[in-house]
Amino acid sequence: MNYFSLNHNAPRSTFKNAVIKGLAPDKGLYFPESITPLPKSFFENIDNLSYPEIAFEAIKQFVSPEIPEETLKTIVKETLSFDFPVVKLNDNISTLELFHGPTMAFKDVGARFMARCLGYFNQDNDKEVTVLVATSGDTGGAVANGFLGVKGVNVVILYPSGKVSDIQEKQLTTLGQNIKALEVNGTFDDCQAMVKTAFLDESLTSKMQLTSANSINVARWLPQLFYFMFAYKQLHNTHKDVVFSVPSGNFGNICAGMMAQQLGLPIKQFVAANNANNVVTRYLLSQLYEPKPSIQTISNAMDVGAPSNFIRIQEIYKNKFEILKENLSSYSFSDDETKEAMLEIFNNYNYVADPHGAVGYLGCKSYLKNNPSAHCVFLETAHPTKFLDVVEEVIKEKQPLPEQIQSVMGKTKEAYSISNYEDLKIFLLKS
C-alpha cells in the first residue's frame, strides 16, 4: 500500500516510510492511496472470527507487503491482549469500554500497534529513531507504555502543564528508560505546533530521525478501526441501525471508525461529541471551518482547537460537505452538562463514566431525539479513576483504584520544563 500527502505536494510513500516519517515533507498527513472494502461475507460471518482475526483482515491491506503476514498476525495478537466489552445501559444506548489495556485508555491499541511496527522496521537499523509526541492526556501514557524498552527508539512526550490529570501525568513521567517527558508552559495546541515545527526543521532532522506517535501517524491512527468492528460483532444481532458517538478532540478515533465504514462495516452514522472545543460542531452548522485556541475543560483529552485529523475525514467523504453531513452529526456540551450526565448515568444505570464518556453519552441522547429507532454506542475512552477528582466530586462515592493506576501512584515524577520551540530544539539536540 502506498500513501499520499493530503497537501498533494509530496512524493508517494510506502507504509514503512509513512510510519518512520510521521508527516509528509509538504507538512501533510499521509492517507492510503486506496481502500478496498472487505467482502460482505466477512461481516456476515463476524461471529465466527476472533478479535485478532478480525483485526488482521481489516488492517492487512494497509501494511502489505512491507510487514509479512505472519509477523502482522503476531503484532495484532500482541496489540489486542485485553478485552473490548460493550455494556448495555438501555434498549437504545450502550457503551464500548476501551480502557482495559495497560494505561486504561483507548490509545493503548494504536500505541501498541505502532510500537511493534516501528520495532519491526528498526530491527536491523543502527540509527536511533526519536518518537516525538504531544498529548492532551491519554496519548502520552499509552505511547510511553507501548514504546517502553523498544530497541533503537527514544520517546519524547510534550504535555501542557496543569492541563492533564494527576494520574495521566504520572503515567507519562515515571517510566524512565527510553521515555522522557517535557512539561510545556502552554496548551495542547502549543505542544502539537512544536511537534509539527520540529518535523519540518531541517537543522534538526538532518541530525536525528524524528517520527510522531500522535494520531497523525498512520500506524497510530488506523488500528483504532479495530474496536468499531469488535463492537459491531457484539451488537449486530440487535437488528437496529448502529450509530457511534465518539468523544472527539483531535478526531483520529472517529476518523478511524469512518475507515471501518469504508471497509464495509454497516455503520449508520457517527456522532462527534464535543466539549467547548467545538470547531467541527460549528462547521457542520455553518460550513465555515475556523480553528480557535483550545479551551480547558474537565474532559481534557478533547481540549483541541485545531483537530489534525479532520482533513482525513474530509478526504474520506471526497471533500463534499453534503456527503459528510449524511455520515456525521456533531453536538457540543458544557462542563456543567457533562457533570449532570455523569450523575444521570450513575443514578439511572449504576455505571461510572469518565467525563469524556459522559460527553459521548450526551451525543447519543441528542442523536436519538430525532432517530429513536437507532442503537447508539458511546465510547468510554478512559477509565473513570483517571479523572478521580471530577468523578468522585460528581457521584459522591469513593472509587477503588485499579492495579494499573495503583502501580504508578507512588512513583516520582520526572519532567523537564520548556516554554517554546527553541527550548524543545535544545533539549532534542542535547539528548
pLDDT of residue 354: 95
C-alpha cell recorded at residue 64: 502489505
| Per-residue CA distances from 313 to 97, 106, 394 (Å) | 24, 19, 34
The phi, psi pair for 184, rounded to 5°, reads -95, 130
Let me know: does 112 contact 82? Beta carbons within 8 Å: no
Let me know: does 269 contact 152? Beta carbons within 8 Å: no
How open is the CA angle 382-219-405, to the nearest 5 degrees?
Answer: 25
Q: Please name the amino acid found at residue 393.
A: E
Cα(216)–Cα(171) distance, rounded to whole angstroms? 22
| Per-residue CA distances from 209 to 36, 120, 153, 205, 284 (Å) | 32, 16, 10, 6, 38
Q: Looking at the domain assignment, is residue 15 inside a domain?
A: no
| Per-residue CA distances from 221 to 280, 320, 424 (Å) | 19, 22, 25
pLDDT of residue 142: 85
Q: Looking at the domain assignment, is residue 140 inside a domain?
A: no
* pTM beyond 0.75: yes
**DSSP symbol at 300:** G
Residues facing residue 157 across a β-bridge:
133, 181
Find the Cα–Cα–Cα–Cα dihedral 174, 101, 158, 120, rounded to 10°.
Answer: 100
Cα(172)–Cα(156) distance, rounded to whole angstroms? 10
Q: Looking at the domain assignment, is residue 141 inside a domain?
A: no
pLDDT of residue 159: 93
Q: Looking at the domain assignment, is residue 248 inside a domain?
A: yes
Cα(28)–Cα(8) distance, rounded to whole angstroms? 8
Residue 59's Cα: distance from chain center in Å? 16
Q: Directed axis angle between helix 138-147 and helix 166-173, to 10°?
A: 30
| Per-residue CA distances from 28 to 8, 11, 48, 217, 311 (Å) | 8, 11, 39, 11, 9
Q: Looking at the domain assignment, is residue 161 inside a domain?
A: no
Q: Looking at the domain assignment, is residue 164 inside a domain?
A: no
How many other C-beta atoms lie within 10 A of the C-beta of residue 403? Answer: 7
Q: Looking at the domain assignment, is residue 92 inside a domain?
A: yes
Q: Which helix (H) or strand (E) holds 198?
A: helix 188-199
Let me know: does 132 contact 212? Beta carbons within 8 Å: yes
Q: Which domain holds residue 387?
A: 83-105+221-400
Cα(124)–Cα(127) distance, rounded to whole angstroms? 9
Cα(244)–Cα(376) distance, rounded to whole angstroms? 6
Number of domains in the chain: 1
C-alpha cell recorded at residue 106: 483507548
Point out the residues that are catalytic.
107
Nearest to 329 by CA among 391, 373, 385, 267: 267
Q: At 234, which CATH number?
A: 3.40.50.1100
C-alpha cell recorded at residue 223: 488500528
pLDDT of residue 281: 94
Cα(8)–Cα(366) distance, rounded to whole angstroms? 37
pLDDT tens, residue order, the chain (431 aa): 999 999 999 999 999 999 988 889 898 999 999 999 999 999 999 999 999 999 999 999 999 999 999 999 999 999 999 999 999 999 999 999 999 998 888 989 999 999 999 889 887 777 788 999 888 777 788 888 888 888 888 999 999 998 888 888 888 898 888 999 999 999 888 998 999 899 889 899 899 988 888 788 999 999 999 999 999 999 988 778 999 999 998 899 999 999 999 999 999 999 999 999 999 999 999 999 999 888 889 998 888 888 989 999 999 999 999 999 999 999 999 999 999 999 999 999 999 999 999 999 999 999 999 999 999 999 999 999 888 889 999 999 998 888 888 888 778 889 999 999 999 999 999 87
Q: For residue range 93-149, list pLDDT tens digits in order.
A: 999 999 999 888 898 999 999 999 988 988 777 778 899 988 877 778 888 888 888
Cα(265)–Cα(314) distance, rounded to whole angstroms? 19
- Say whether 247 sits in a helix, a strand or coil: strand
Q: Looking at the domain assignment, is residue 227 inside a domain?
A: yes
